[in-house]
Amino acid sequence: MTLPLKIGVAGLGTVGAGVVKLLTANHDQLTARCGRPLIVTAVSARDRSKDRGINVDGMAWHDYARDLAADDNVDVVVELIGGEDGIAKDLVETAIHHSKHVVTANKALIAHHGTALARAAESKGLSLAYEAAVAGGIPIIKALREGLAANRVERLYGILNGTCNYILTDMAGSGREFDDILAEAQELGYAEADPSFDVDGIDAAHKLAILASVAFGTELDFDNVYVEGIRHVSPLDIEFAHELGYGIKLLGVAARVPEERGGGIEQRVHPCMVALDAPINHVSGVFNGIEVAGDFVDTTIYEGRGAGEGPTASAVVADLVDIARGNNVPTFAVKAEKLKPAQTIPMGKRKGAYYIRFMVVDRPGVFADIAAALRDNEVSMESVLQRGRAPGEQVPVVMTVHETEEDAMQRCVQAIAALDAVVEPPRLIRIEDI
């Protein structure tokens, strides 16, 4: 029989334990598909005594992950520790130094250091695989890198964070406030004790930067991804959005910008209003969904669980199968040494329609002042909604505006916010034509 692929797993949390379970449960099927066994020969974690529901007998135990990366009885290192730097980065660099393939689920590590790590791995003929880093069980990296390789990708967008999608879905269905649903999500294990990476959009931005690199053949450019979370979205906004024919989703959007607008790549994460009948609007709960538009294939849609033991372990093992089969493709679809600078355009150059909500004191002249701010910044109103009439009291006013440039829209919002009749910061949500 062909020699087995010997695997070292660093990090035995939920996903690490899931990988060991999957390799054990589907051992015969995987051996048949790979033509060789996949065997875990070494593991590394902080606590040997913890019951993880897996049998580690016969596996070498390394208290220090770096030692696992140097183990001669390991062919491929699976990094499931997490974090953009520290132990995880040291482990991956050490593994490459010792000529070992790497599989990781670490989106922060790849988003910040992927270009350099890919160049190091490819220079030694090694695989750096990260299917599990984006969208859990959805094979979106393979789809972009291999299934859609014949296409010039023009645009991709998607729901890349299950926590945010769960919160927004519940807000739309129940009308409850953000803070209440977040607390419930934490109790159910859908949100971390510190949810900032999720609800502030950082997690989705890590994933978007990775997808953009694969889709457009560019270097990772996380530092220039525009990031805005969902803390400011209210049930009132969701209600108004529905009345206008939209749902609200936190989307990651990456797209080529036409030459007449300066060229380059858009990379942005923020709440978006999308048409109620758009497929992406029907991705609910903790699910992820991604749409990719290519020049020949048109639009393809991918949906599935974006996190969790089973889906993430499935993605990790899919990468191990590729390595066992000898399928070594460029890390980001193009050889790392050929990746081009991303040329990410500033968010201020985004062009599109907008939703804006004000809380104003209902008195004569308010609309005239708002109209003047729109006129002075060359922003054209499309529609307006006002709830109730209460002279002298605070009332919500909602407007949608025609396509305009972000910079102009932001100037307009600042001008309106400065009006005496406006009693709280205006709420701005971008409308996406998808």
pLDDT in tens, 33-81: 999 999 999 999 988 878 888 988 889 999 999 999 999 999 999 999 9
**124 and 181 fall within a common domain:** no
**66 and 113 fall within a common domain:** yes
At residue 365 the predicted structure's pLDDT band, cuts being 50, 70 and 90, is confident
Residue 418 lies in a domain: yes
Residue 310 lies in a domain: no
Exposure string of 54-75, with b = 16+ CB inside 10 Å and e = fewer, is: bebeebbebeebebbbbbeebb
**85 and 178 fall within a common domain:** no
Mind listing the pLDDT tens digit for each residue in 139-197? 999 999 999 999 999 999 999 999 999 999 999 999 999 999 999 888 887 888 889 99
Total domains in the fold of the chain: 3
Residue 65 lies in a domain: yes
Catalytic residue among 21, 207, 249, 340: 207
Are 421 and 366 in contact by the 8 Å Cβ rule? The answer is: yes
Which structural domain, as residue segments, surrounds residue 409? 350-431
**126 and 145 fall within a common domain:** no
50 carries an active-site annotation: no
The token pair that represents 168 in the structure block: 């927004």
Rounded to 10 degrees, the C-alpha dihedral 106/136/140/218 comes to -20
Is this model's pTM higher than 0.85 or not?
A: yes
**101 and 183 fall within a common domain:** no
Are 44 and 8 in contact by the 8 Å Cβ rule? The answer is: yes
Average pLDDT over the chain reads 94
At residue 391 the predicted structure's pLDDT band, cuts being 50, 70 and 90, is low
What DSSP character marks residue 2? P
What CATH number is attached to the domain comprising 97?
3.40.50.720
Rounded to 10 degrees, the C-alpha dihedral 24/26/28/32 comes to -130
Given a cut of 70, whether residue 306 has pLDDT beyond it is: yes
